Structure 1
Amino acid sequence: MRSGYTQKGEPLLDSPPLTLFTGLLGEPTATRLLAQLDQALAWQRPTLRLYGREHPIPRRQLWMGDPEARYCYSGRDFSPEPWHPAVSSLLGTVIQRLANAGLPARFNSVLLNRYADGQERMGWHSDNEPELGPDPLIAAVSLGTKRPMRFRWQDRSHEAFNVWLPHDSLLVMGAGVQSRLQHALLPRQLPGLRISLTFRLVNPTVSPA
């Protein structure tokens, strides 16, 4: 077993299930992958419509997956870029790690986000688009600078909390997380590059809104 790898993961919440795995790929593989994705992908900065105005997103991103895995959020319809071989290989690793932990999953797409430093961010949201289904399982790989993902309850019944996501980690958001919680990557005075890859299963029979 590779150094630092957590076979069963660290349970952060039982209901809804939120689990963190560390040491997913091991070194130097994880750092090589970070550099490869940073340099090889055609990163985009699309504009999204918020409150009737167009705004460039405060990070760079790329939607990737099977041809039918179209996705819509914040008023934009995204058609997937073809799988990059390195991302396709990572997908296989994620699926195998989840199977080993008793969490069988299938994914056909991934949203990659590139944060150049701690000032680039992701606002409050839930991954609850119709094409993801009512209770999606979403697996998020983090590479690069360690940053906290902030979670808050939809009904504000409990205090908000941080989940620190280290380099070479996998956060699994199970059934009910998207319907009961919101999450964000808020600005921090943290230097360094971070790339996240959130693997999803898009239902091709549900047309994006």
Structure 2
Amino acid sequence: MPTDILLSDPPLWLTTPLLGEPQASELLARLDAELAWQRPTLRLYGREHPIPRRQVWMGDPEARYRYSARDFHPDPWHPAVAALRDRVTDALAASGTPARFNSVLLNRYADGEERMGWHSDDEPELGCDPLIAAVSLGAERPLRFRGKPGVARPGDAGPLSPFNVWLPHDSLLVMGPGAQGALQHALLPRKIPGLRISLTFRWVVG
């Protein structure tokens, strides 16, 4: 699988394709049809707002997660998602980056108007310097990155200019240890048609 090294410190790389066709498109259709997609509300500035996408939190029973003052309890592993988790684990092991995952956040974007705001996956439940592996299925969209405000880059490196990483169908983006401490990312609205489902695999510390 061809791999594009986007950053070396913190490590950020993109691999595509992960599954190949027709498996990737079949998985996209299956997840869209079979999962119990939800649109929870989050409290921002004292008001409840529905998130601008649909999602499912899935994983081992103990992989509970707290985000924006809400507790999320995982749905059981869907067989197709568990198989994808194992495929991602094998791909990382083959690249010399062993990892394990007990949970995954799936986000469903119906079109380019649905989005995810600026954030880092740095909640305490994820431990120190987590590795996040993100699989993209469906419409290709750019994930926008920027340096986290107030965090200096290693050595004598200057400020990190914001940049896009285009995530094609059937791709694997790996944000290695240190990426969440140094970077923020967002899926900003774009006039791009088509369904996209992302799966971000992670390890929740018990």
1:190 equivalent in structure 2: 192
For residues 134-153 of structure 1, what are the structure 2 equivalents within 5 Å? 134-153=128-147
**RMSD after superposition:** 0.7
Aligned length: 198
Q: CA deviation at 1:74?
A: 1.1
**Separation of aligned partners in 2, 1:112 and 1:151:** 20
For residues 55-66 of structure 1, what are the structure 2 equivalents within 5 Å? 55-66=49-60
**Separation of aligned partners in 2, 1:57 and 1:182:** 19
Q: CA deviation at 1:155?
A: 3.3
Q: CA deviation at 1:134?
A: 1.4
TM-score (norm 1): 0.94
**Separation of aligned partners in 2, 1:152 and 1:105:** 25
2:108 matched to 1:107?
A: no
Amino acid at match of 2:131: L
Corresponding residue to 1:164 among 163, 166, 169:
166
Q: Deviations over 1:21-70 (max 9, x none)?
A: 00100000000000000000000000001111100000000000000000
2:168 matched to 1:174?
A: no
Q: Structure 2: where are the runs of 5+ without partners?
A: 151-158
The runs of 4+ residues in structure 1 deviating greater than 2 Å are none
1:129 equivalent in structure 2: 123
TM-score (norm 2): 0.95
Identity score, percent: 72
2:65 matched to 1:71?
A: yes
2:22 matched to 1:28?
A: yes
**Separation of aligned partners in 2, 1:118 and 1:24:** 23
Amino acid at match of 1:175: P
Q: Structure 1: where are the runs of 5+ without partners?
A: 205-209
**Separation of aligned partners in 2, 1:91 and 1:76:** 25
